[in-house]
């Protein structure tokens, strides 16, 4: 939800500026302490344009923080847009009486906004992947990744609770090729407990993300058939 000082038109204008300066690589210069203090004072008196200026002159900070998340594989323009929303919220809730610079406070808000976005993206991708059909069982029933992994994608051993012990599952993994087994171990943290995205696995193996996706689906289908035997 946007603050009262930033209507939909103003938000679009701000995002247009973000897109323009991102392409040019030249963000507005940061504010000097005295400039920031003056704008904050005007903003506290209800000057909406002062709030807009505070946002525009802190866009460089948003871009700097967004670059810290390059390794996630997310589009940088998307991260900057999300970070800009965090900046807007920071301006709306900043209290100068706490004796800290706006940039210091905004940095935390920007980073938190991006982190929440990344978590929601990860959860959304997981839900889509888990419900995606990967084949059929011997009776012709559709098999999804959720059927193989259970409802909790972060705990892969839930899929065999009450039926197969952990060591038995590893024996079943022996029916896979070396690459299929490696992809599943990396994807679901079977070896080190660290789950990785398909994009991360692709970088590790030096292949495309779509190739990793095909290997994962094939491996999970094989595993589903073995577990159902």
Q: Could you tell me the end-to-end alpha-carbon distance of the chain, in angstroms, rounded to an integer? A: 51
Per-residue pLDDT at 140? 63
Which are the contacts of 205, defined by CB distance < 8 A and separation ≥ 6?
Answer: 179, 182, 183, 212
Per-residue pLDDT at 160? 34
Are 228 and 134 spatial neighbours (Cβ–Cβ below 8 Å)?
A: no
More confidently predicted of 94 and 13: 94
Q: Which of 53-57, 171-175, 180-184, 219-223 has the lowest mean pLDDT?
A: 171-175
What would the mean pLDDT of 134-146 be, rounded to a whole number? 60
Name the pTM for this structure. Answer: 0.50
Q: Where does the chain show beta strands of DSSP type E? A: 133-136, 142-144
What would the mean pLDDT of 72-94 be, rounded to a whole number? 85
What would the mean pLDDT of 12-30 be, rounded to a whole number? 62
What would the mean pLDDT of 157-182 be, rounded to a whole number? 60
Per-residue pLDDT at 41? 92
Which are the contacts of 3, defined by CB distance < 8 A and separation ≥ 6?
Answer: 51, 88, 89, 91, 92
Domains of the chain: 8-122 (1.20.120.1810), 131-227 (1.10.10.10)
pLDDT surpasses 80 at 201: yes
More confidently predicted of 200 and 152: 200
pLDDT surpasses 90 at 35: yes
Percentage of the chain exceeding pLDDT 90:
7
pLDDT band at 36 (very low <50, low <70, confident <90, very high): very high
Per-residue pLDDT at 226? 67
Q: How many whole angstroms separate alpha carbon 178 and alpha carbon 47?
A: 64
pLDDT band at 210 (very low <50, low <70, confident <90, very high): confident
């Amino acid at each position: 939800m946007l603050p009262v000082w930033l209507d939909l038109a103003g938000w679009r204008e701000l995002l247009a500026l973000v897109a323009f300066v991102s392409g040019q690589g030249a963000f507005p210069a940061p504010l000097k302490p005295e400039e920031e203090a003056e704008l904050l004072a005007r903003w506290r008196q209800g000057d909406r344009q002062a709030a807009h200026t505070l946002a525009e002159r802190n866009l460089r900070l948003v871009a700097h923080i967004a670059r810290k998340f390059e390794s996630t594989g997310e589009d940088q323009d998307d991260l900057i847009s999300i970070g800009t929303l965090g900046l807007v919220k920071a301006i709306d809730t900043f209290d100068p009486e706490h004796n800290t610079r706006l940039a210091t406070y905004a940095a935390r808000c920007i980073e938190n906004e991006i982190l929440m976005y990344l978590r929601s993206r990860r959860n959304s991708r997981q839900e889509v992947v888990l419900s995606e059909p990967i084949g059929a069982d011997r009776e012709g029933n559709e098999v999804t990744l959720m059927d193989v992994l259970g409802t909790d994608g972060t705990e892969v051993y839930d899929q065999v609770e009450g039926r197969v012990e952990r060591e038995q599952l590893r024996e079943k993994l022996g029916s896979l090729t070396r690459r299929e087994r490696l992809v599943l171990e990396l994807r679901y943290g079977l070896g080190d407990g660290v789950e990785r995205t398909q994009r991360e696995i692709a970088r590790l193996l030096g292949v495309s993300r779509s190739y990793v996706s095909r290997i994962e689906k094939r491996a999970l289908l094989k595993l589903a058939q073995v577990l159902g035997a």
